Chains A and B, each alone.
Chain A
Amino acid sequence: MAENKDLIVVENLKKHFRTGSGFFKKRKAIYAVNGLNFTIRRKETLGLVGESGCGKSTTGETILQLYRPTEGKVLYGEQDLSKIGGGELRKYRRKMQIIFQDPFSSLDPRMTVGNIIGEALRIHKLGGNKKERLEKARELLNLVNLNPNYINRYPHEFSGGQRQRIGIARALAVTPEFIVCDEPISALDVSIQAQIVNLLEDLQNELGLTYLFIAHDLSMVRHISTRVAVMYLGKIVELTPRDDLYENAQHPYTKALLSAVPIPDPFIAKKSQAVLLKGDVANPMNPPKGCCFNTRCPQAETICTEIEPEYREIYPSHYCACHLVSA
């Protein structure tokens, strides 16, 4: 793979949080992100799926340097973002934006839409004077299919889907190359989700954007992604091109995840048997020895509880970390 095709290269990325200490409690670490290696190619959408608490949001935020990594590198082009700070990092911040999950709490209720969108322009000194900034905000509202005359309204006057469009307009204000979409549709109604996904796809084609699309809805991730990474307990267990994910999933966790997705078709759904996983996700403060999935894996063998499986390429551009899968 040519080097210049990759926009972002993540190498051995780790983010550990320390818990608060109590009088009788020792400080402990939460291994939220625990050694990730992957790349995000220019103009692709990399889907990142996993259950709550598996570290997918932390991964997105660590790439953006909203959290500084505990260990490892995040290369943006040639630059290692974990090594720089201050004004130098701010230059890169302009190129990387985020769209948050909850359109209700991620917009300041006391700012008008025009100011919310214009704020990033002001901070990055891109928009000129206030009047020009508001003009730019109108253009951006138009771009996300909202009425440009809404710039003087406040967030509470909008529905969830409209707010998410405002969140997208804000992210686009500084003309970024890369956007982390952190569950941008999970708080929205079903009939609105398709609107937002279509908008994100249109914008990607029009502006040549690169997405990291974080979600727990596998069918939506498969729909929007070029490649999909499956995370479990701070690690990527499988990374494949989108079609391989459904037709040729290798990791037992991916298989279980896929079979757990309800298919909206009564003829198929009543016949299919889900692979039911036992129990819950293990505690990220105390991840199991060996493979992170061995406590719930229906196929676990002795080796799985002792040695951590290597994350390797089993087919061309299909990565998997499992002892029981052979190339």
Chain B
Amino acid sequence: MQRSAYAPWIWLFPAGALLIPFFLLPLAIVVRNSVYFDDPQGLTVPAFTTANYLKVLTDPYYVKVLSNTLLVAAISTVVSLLVAFPFAQFVVRTSDSARNLLLWCVYVPLYVSVIMRAFGWTIILADSGLINHLLLRLGLIDAPLRMLFEAEGMMVGMIHRYLPLMIIPLITALQKIDGNLLKASGNLGASGARTFLRVTLPMSVPGMVAGGQLVFAGVLSDYAMPALMGSTKFQLIAPAIYYEAITNSSWALAGAMATVVLGLVASFLIAANLLLKRLAPWALTL
């Protein structure tokens, strides 16, 4: 409003007053704690060490937790993309009323409590659950398949939780493609497949990148799904961080694990943005 140089800073003040003490400061403390010592009384001793990182990155237990988490995040991102793309294309091409209904079906799960979604999946995937009941009835299996409290079942819950976050940016990206471009490509003699590869696919890159960022970062640090549907034999990093911090009072070690997660998420976001700049220089990034 006012034309003074400090006007924007007045408008930014409330957000700064929340984000500096309750976002920036805590993150800085986690990074600081990660280079301190844990002492047996559960205190952190302020003396520099890299031992926590050494442990997180070389000890077989922590390496396994980290590789499990990266594996689940990578698989969930790829599967979400493969599932979401044809669906998003269908939504963009369909009639207005059908599109609104489908969008509603995508938005609702996003705002339904995670607990309810996990509860629903436990009923569906349990040893005596819906799927096993059906397969036994059809005579396709003799004994129930074990899916719940295994990595596979948890991954289904994870993909269900994050799929809408892939679908929505993809729809936004596909909606922006001018239909005349597709017609022009066809008129110039390109086959449907060639038009898809040379026009639709490159122009949907911004949506894929935005969706990929949300799904990958979400799965990488998800606590609820592994806690409610996961296996103790297949640990993920978020519950492991909570365990080290709260149960073991190993604050420095938990700090190192958290910093590694932070670093992974940050480098993924940056790499995805760089990729976007190369592949789709016209698109604005997050």
The answer to whether A and B belong to the same complex is no
Q: What residues of chain A have their CB less than 8 Å away from a CB belonging to chain B?
A: none
Q: What residues of chain B have their CB less than 8 Å away from a CB belonging to chain A?
A: none
